[in-house]
Structure 1
């Protein structure tokens, strides 16, 4: 498949490619350079975390209170 670049540097992504990538109006995409030098189009998952460490962040749920943790670290019985 091929497409033509406009004077503004815009291209129309062929319908088959849009369907394959699951992108539509308003979708955000990223251009990445592969190790072999090719440039690939990757849809940006808006739900994904931006930091590679973001998946480790969050709330573990109800746990020990601060006082309980301090008592444990001090060896209080």
Structure 2
């Protein structure tokens, strides 16, 4: 299926709608461009984009779980004021003569 399209002065090429639809391509989605040698260029939808996104998501999820595990000791159910009072030195009670 050969299609003709024009290149803009910025080097942009419009992929015909029926080709985009056939490939399931969406706006702002990456496009792979390969020089096949001579005067032939192959433009295709990248094969591993979804897998890369899924792998990145899984890696980020693991990182966040490790971070939550590292700081789990801070989940005490206390309010901030209660926690701060616990870790600080006791506040001295003023002597009645000092008031």
TM-score (norm 2): 0.41
Gaps of 5+ in 2: 56-99
Report 1 or 2 for greater relative contact order, CA contacts < 8 Å, sequence distance ≥ 6: 1
- Is residue 48 of structure 1 aligned with residue 51 of structure 2? yes
Which one has the largest radius of gyration? 2
Q: Indicate the residue corresponding to 2:40 in structure 1.
A: 38
Question: Which residue of 15, 24, 37 maps to 2:26?
Answer: 24
1:7 aligns with 2:9: yes
State TM-score, norm by structure 1: 0.51
How big is the shift at 1:38?
Answer: 3.2
Root-mean-square deviation (CA, aligned residues, Å) is 2.5
Unaligned runs of 5+ in 1: 55-77
Aligned residues: 50
